[in-house]
Amino acid sequence: MQILYDRDWSLTNTKLLMTKIFSSPERVEIRTKAHIVESDVYLSRATSAFSREDFQSAHISAIVTLECIIKVLVEIALEYFSNSQFIQKLDTSTKKFRKHKILDEYLHMSLLEKANDETVEEKLKLFKTIWDEMNFTTNRHRDALEASHFKIKTELKYYLNPAFLQGMIMRTKSIINSGKM
């Protein structure tokens, strides 16, 4: 992140403090442990689905498991990442540790190696269709939403907010137009 105007250095000092806190060994340890626990949960789901011969669910859970594990690598490399920058930061991290095969395997397993502008646009349209249907269904069953657990209710209200959808679509199109696909 670059600060363009900071008359009294308060933004720069805050940025430096946040960077120091973010990259402290304690914070890295907390985040990596969280990723490991999450990967264990998804690995359990993958194993369970595989034993039921639900191979599609097993595959999806295995991909998420791998994603959680490779987040540990990105954390150790001290790369800040968000969902929209994850692959770029993973690429930087694997180069830093000379483990580029990890990225190749992840892209292969997740089928992201086949992604291009056309397929992403297609998936974006599909996402919008599914989002619209989820929003419609949630609005029809407003009582069930209000009676649900606080965390579920909060997350659904966040993700089903039209501003979230518009922001996600704009961010995705920005990535496509930037040529970073």
Encode pLDDT of 36-84 as tens digits: 999 999 999 999 999 999 999 999 999 999 999 999 999 999 888 887 7
pLDDT confidence of residue 176: 78
- C-beta separation of 153 from 145 below 8 A: yes
Cα 36 off chain centre by: 15
Is 3 within a domain?
no
* Residues 41 and 126 grouped into a single domain: no
Residue with tokens 């973010």: 22
Domain span at residue 125? 117-178
Average pLDDT of the residues in 88-100: 93
Average pLDDT of the residues in 123-138: 90
Q: Helix, strand, or coil here: 136? A: helix
Residue with tokens 């689905």: 49
* Residues 39 and 69 grouped into a single domain: yes
Task: Give the domain-ending residue among 95, 114, 133.
Answer: 114
Q: Does the pTM exceed 0.75?
A: no
Task: Give the domain-ending residue among 114, 136, 151.
Answer: 114
pLDDT confidence of residue 115: 83
pLDDT confidence of residue 50: 97
DSSP 148: S
* Residues 35 and 124 grouped into a single domain: no
pLDDT confidence of residue 180: 62
* Residues 92 and 17 grouped into a single domain: yes
* Residues 87 and 140 grouped into a single domain: no
